[in-house]
Amino acid sequence: MTLFSLTNRVSRVLSASKVFIRHRRIQFHGGSHPQGNKEPKAIQKQESWFVKVVCTLFVYSQPLDDACLSYLNNNLTPLIEFEVVKWLKNPTFGLKVLELSRLNLSINHSFWTYNLLIRSFCCMGLYGSARLVFDYMKIDGHLPDSTLLGFMISSFGRAGEFGMARKLLAEAQSDDVMVTIFAVNNLLNMMVKQNNLEEAVSLYKENLGSNFNPDTWTFNILIRGLCRVGKVDQAFEFFNDMRSFGCFPDIVTYNTIINGLCREYEVDRGHSLLNEIRLRDDCAPNVVTYTSVISGYCKLGKMEEASALFDKMMSSGTLPSVVTFNVLIDGFGKVGDMLSAKSLYEKMASFGCIPDVVTFTSLINGYCQIGDVNRSLQLWDAMKVKNVSPNVYTFAITINALCKENRLREAFRLLRELQCRNIVPKPFIFNPVIDGFCKAGNLDEANRIVAEMEKKKCDPDKVTFTILIIGHCMKGRMLKAISIFDKMLSVGCTPDDITVRSLISCLLKAGMPKEAYLISTITS
């Protein structure tokens, strides 16, 4: 192939190559590297023609003959090779260029060639290829800079390749390459987010002996992960270790650990930490801090303490949020104090807080608990006026309350309304209605509701099957009850003792001891 014919095919190379890098110039952010240059030099106009020729050779003339290799060996430079890899716009082709030149050409490859290929492969999710280029880079005498290393560690972490990321960190330490705390924190954060908490703690402890100096963000990440899984005491160990590393807890640290304590019902400890913040000059509690402790008191039913802290928050100049009002309204509703709940609801607007679906659901639940279902239905009308859509729990609470009052038709209408909305149905919404119709002796209607459930891809659960089995037994439909029990087993739904004992008892009363014995044998 002549050079003239090669240049005529250049335009076809561009269209045939897979476009990966969107812009011709690649930006690199900071960091030092062995060459000491902040970015590769620009090629001259006369060199750009040669770049296109080399690209065409690699794409269309594999394998290259000895004459081509000799010519390239005499004329190819590290800078031109970088431009070739960039111009190809396909890291797979670029890797082939790199491998061929490493084996057959005496070129001292540019740091930027490795940098470009590693970043490109990482962005494509080809982490094995990125690691291969990284190994070539080290073999050829180049050490990565902190920016490239941080990028690789973050990329591997996002992909869940934590083993590869940790190996990179270990190699960097042995090569005496600096890894920024930002890169380590990114990796820890991704480990925690992907529920690899133990691995995150292990990584932290492994790196303490090196040049790794944790900062406040490091501790916040680990404390958040530990609190999320209920390991508050272990989180406190990190909290207490912060000062020994010259770190001081910020409001994020305090909010995280206070929320963790309150979720574990250790509200008094959370309140003590809140008071500790109030005494500090460099940190002040915010609405999140107060709301966490208020929520903790509400969950314990300690509404006096919750109200007192709410008043203290207001007097300190911290304004409540919608979440603050919601936790208080829910707390008052659960203890049956609907006057206080309604009073808070009416105050929301004056603080610029708009009631949401959680607000209305909490109020509805409160009225249902004190048996005032009519008032809860009025709130449904208020929701429509305010254009607030009910969620799955709003439906479940109201339907259950209507069924308890034997208002099955109204409950059934709400069930139909639910099915018309874009809400994923759950068995616990259907079960009270099915149970109501079974107890009323209307098994056909109960069976129809179950059939509608299954059409909506909502599989009956253990409670649904138990309701149906007992309902059919009460009507003397023993064979149908056995059939439902068989279906329960066939779909992998394990019956509990109540289901089994109820069915066996009914079979014995119906004079069917053999069937009762068979059920007992199967379930044992």
3-state secondary structure 360-403: HHHHHHHHHHCCCHHHHHHHHHHHHHCCCCCCHHHHHHHHHHHH
Could you tell me what percentage of the chain is helix, strand and coil, using 3-state DSSP and rounding each to the nearest 5? 70, 0, 30
Q: How far is CA 402 from CA 398, 432, 450, in A?
A: 6, 9, 19
Q: How far is CA 101 from CA 15, 130, 167, in A?
A: 24, 18, 28
How far apart CA 37 and CA 30 sit, in angstroms, is 10
* Token pair of 70 as six digits: 């000799």
Tokens 């603050």 -> residue? 324
How far apart CA 20 and CA 356 sit, in angstroms, is 45
How far apart CA 95 and CA 124 sit, in angstroms, is 14
How many Cβ atoms from other residues are within 10 Å of residue 283's Cβ?
A: 17
pLDDT in tens, the chain (524 residues): 433 343 344 333 333 333 333 333 333 333 334 444 456 665 555 567 677 777 776 666 567 667 777 777 777 778 878 888 888 888 888 888 888 888 778 778 888 889 999 999 999 999 999 999 999 998 888 888 888 888 999 899 988 899 899 988 888 877 777 888 888 899 999 999 999 999 999 989 888 766 678 999 999 999 999 999 999 999 999 999 998 889 999 999 999 999 999 999 999 999 999 999 999 888 899 999 999 999 999 999 999 999 999 999 999 999 999 999 999 999 999 999 999 999 999 999 999 999 999 999 999 999 999 999 999 999 999 999 999 999 999 999 999 999 999 999 999 999 989 888 888 889 999 999 999 999 999 999 999 999 988 888 889 999 999 999 999 999 999 999 999 999 999 999 989 899 999 999 999 999 999 999 999 888 87
Per-residue model confidence (pLDDT) at position 35: 44
Q: What is the CA radius of gyration of the chain?
A: 34
Give yes or no for a contact between 442 and 474, defined as CB atoms under 8 angstroms apart: no
Report the b/e string of 369-402 with b at 16+ CB within 10 A: beeebebbbebbeebeeeebebebbbbbbbbbbb
Per-residue model confidence (pLDDT) at position 41: 61
Q: DSSP assignment, residue 62?
A: P
For residue 259, with 0-12 CB atoms within 10 Å meaning exposed, 13-18 middle and 19 or more buried, which class applies? Answer: buried
How far apart CA 163 and CA 359 sit, in angstroms, is 45
Give yes or no for a contact between 287 and 322, defined as CB atoms under 8 angstroms apart: no
Give yes or no for a contact between 497 and 464, defined as CB atoms under 8 angstroms apart: no
Q: Helix or strand or coil: residue 105? A: coil
Q: How far is CA 165 from CA 26, 139, 154, in A?
A: 24, 19, 8
How far apart CA 457 and CA 451 sit, in angstroms, is 10
Q: Helix or strand or coil: residue 131? A: helix
Tokens 């540019």 -> residue? 110
Give yes or no for a contact between 106 and 121, defined as CB atoms under 8 angstroms apart: no
How far apart CA 372 and CA 411 sit, in angstroms, is 15
Residue type at 435? Answer: D
For residue 360, with 0-12 CB atoms within 10 Å meaning exposed, 13-18 middle and 19 or more buried, which class applies? Answer: buried
Element (H, E) at 123: helix 111-124
How far apart CA 418 and CA 375 sit, in angstroms, is 20
- What is the residue extent of each domain of the chain? 463-523
Per-residue model confidence (pLDDT) at position 47: 65
How many Cβ atoms from other residues are within 10 Å of residue 419's Cβ?
A: 16
